[in-house]
A and B are shown apart, each in its own frame.
Chain A
């Protein structure tokens, strides 16, 4: 029962504005799919901001107005063996500004591949304690131009993330979970060969700063584990990077930080197999060189036993 169903925090990472799913949509939860089980999902997301942080100054810009970012993302998770899950996703993203005269951008963003491994599960008190890790690799697949911020759909750089997850689930369905990830980012290729980053840079590559991502959630399972409700907090902090200059546009070298609070609801219509739905909201509470996003997401999941049927 413990692995009841899949899906989860995957979307929590989807709404990163510019940087967005360069982050990846790795579940940082404790939930594992069992061997041979497959969850296919289709996620939709709608995010907007009408203010952004220029450095740490929260400002408006009437020549952007409200920036809208929409995303549709097919996603699949597969249980391979008892302790390992493989996940892949590839979003299509579209941006648009209500003000000004500049065009938005749309296209296929980054392919994300990830493995989640459960290393330990132990009975402790009136519940279970779990220790997991998650490794994800993202790489841009479309020809989108990252150096078109704030309209660009992603950071355009490969990323390798290593995450540790700790969770405790009480027998009556309450889950406390926290995770921490280190994200190594590579370079993004741009279309100019000179840019300013605290001085001249003569290159058509930009270094996208490495970052740490923290995530915490309090979840509760209801209706015989068919409904899960979560309250989430997460933050992303780049370890280096420059600030957006005065009334200038952002660029992938910027030190982008944010903190968000959110809720997440998942409902499995008929138990472990078959259709399920996901809905979530996230709201940015603080940031640096980022839009103050509010995002709403909806998803449809379909779960089935694809192989290893005998042992199920």
Chain B
């Protein structure tokens, strides 16, 4: 009798446990192919960002669809489609007809994978990641927020320029898609009037592969494999023949020479300074203001994160001093004391909602950083609004270049004022987020987020309120986390909006989307 009772309880517990649904843990954003809401026939006239004169990039005229060459390519494509493996069919579903979204996800994953701060050596020194010896240890790069913002900016700007040029030639030559030539071809994606030569997918694949390889030298094998999979999916999906793809690759290659040239000379190579330079920057601030920031880790890191990122070439702001913030309240001032009081209040008592906000926005080590967070928002809005690849690229290009500009502006301000963190100014202060290795004022999260929100609000005005709320939340999350004073966050948001507006003005200047 008692045995029976126990057994019943076992069964009840087992049922309860197994019936409790497990949440899915997806590896990428699930979305379906969609029909583009607009084709942008004049998209080839939009303003490129890297390339000053689009006529510099020559694309040969395609063979007509009646030519024997085309007929042969069409047949080859058909055979490829008919002999697809299950893995190839999965790849077609994965890449979709808007593959920028996938390359963006791959970029975010790389960022998260490489966003690891080097630990100390046994003798207490630190070794910095070195692009000349990427294997390390520590491995190169350390994909911290400035690094990731720049990586995403180059990726998105190269994608955008490649697509503007692809669009120009698409509507110049008007070579129709394979499935319009041969009605027996059943494409994997919705049929579209977008001309197929040159392939927009191939152009995106080429620049994405090359930018990511430039940024993540240890990932060449993985990135090449993604590239091959993507290129192969274009034929398997029935949307491009080989010459479409070749022309797309050609555009991609041309764009990359502009991207490489700019990246090699934008000042990033000097952003992480040696100790004497870093010390002189700190001392300059100390002489000017009477304070300086110091790293509080054990052993102490001798140099903060990228002291000269503020000197890196911006995309839309002519001179970083235009967007440098006014001085912060001095330690000991009434404003300072008030904001310290607020920090102590949260440290003593934090609501669950405040804790959730601090953690949801942490985007710290091991994550895709705040720029990554905004790329995720952009992706959701792009899918929701069914943007075509060109518009998708434009959103990412202006948002990510604005976010990088915000990072540059913020870093300029950070190292100009060299303001100490709360763990330095408040005795015995402990935080629920790790304190980053750079000065407090202004808050990076706040500037990145306000710039991202400003650009996204321009492209998606219906969701402006949500973007602005997120930017405010990102800013305040750092106060809850105990690592920023309110004035860091408030001023960071102002600065980010200001920087974002430069990008918006530029985006507006071609009069299109």
Contact = CB atoms under 8 A, between A and B. Distances in A.
A16 interface: no
Nearest to A85: B6
Contacts of B220: none
B105 interface: yes
A246 B116 contact: yes
Interface stretch (B19-27, B254-262, B334-342): B19-27
A192 B109 contact: no
B22 A103 contact: no
A306 interface: no
Contact of A145 (B17, B118, B355, B366): B355
Contacts of B347: 103
Nearest to A203: B25
B157 interface: no
Interface in A192-217: 192-196, 199-207
A49 interface: no
Interface stretch (A21-29, A75-83, A122-130, A295-303): A75-83
Contacts of A63: 297-298
A102 B432 contact: yes
A83 B9 CA distance: 15
Interface stretch (A5-13, A183-191, A232-240): A183-191
Contacts of A83: 2-3
A178 B102 CA distance: 52
Interface stretch (B59-67, B310-318, B403-411, B423-431): B423-431
A205 B109 contact: no
A256 interface: no
Contacts of B373: 194
B344 interface: no
B117 interface: yes
B429 A143 contact: no
Contact of B27 (A147, A199, A204, A249): A199
Interface in B338-365: 347, 352, 355-356, 359-360, 362-363, 365
A100 B297 CA distance: 7
B297 A160 contact: no
A199 B109 contact: yes
A180 interface: no
Given A158-B17, A246-B116, A99 B298 contact: yes
Given A145-B355, A247-B118, A249-B365, A200 B112 contact: yes
A135 B13 contact: yes
Contact of B10 (A135, A187, A191, A203): A135
Which of A186, A200, A207 gathers most chain B CB within 10 Å?
A200
Interface residues of B, number: 58
Contact of B117 (A61, A192, A247): A247
Interface in A99-124: 99-104, 115, 117
Contacts of A206: 25
B137 interface: yes
A248 interface: yes
Contacts of A200: 27-28, 105, 108-109, 112, 368
A103 B430 contact: yes
Contacts of A205: 22-23, 25
B432 A186 contact: no
Which of A82, A115, A143 gathers most chain B CB within 10 Å?
A115
A269 interface: no
Contacts of A103: 347, 430-432, 482
B125 to A, nearest CB: 13
Nearest to B361: A192
A211 to B, nearest CB: 15
Nearest to A117: B6
18 contacts: A62-B297, A80-B2, A82-B2, A84-B3, A100-B297, A101-B430, A101-B431, A102-B432, A158-B17, A186-B17, A186-B22, A192-B362, A194-B368, A195-B366, A200-B28, A200-B108, A200-B109, A202-B27
Given A193-B360, A203-B25, 18 more contacts: A81-B5, A83-B3, A100-B297, A101-B435, A103-B482, A115-B10, A145-B355, A187-B22, A192-B359, A194-B368, A199-B109, A200-B105, A201-B27, A202-B27, A205-B23, A245-B366, A247-B116, A249-B365
Interface of B: 2-3, 5-6, 9-10, 13-14, 17, 20, 22-29, 105, 108-109, 112-113, 116-120, 137-138, 296-299, 347, 352, 355-356, 359-360, 362-363, 365-368, 372-373, 376, 423, 429-435, 482
5 pairs of A and B residues whose beta carbons are closest in the complex: A247-B119, A81-B2, A191-B359, A62-B298, A103-B430
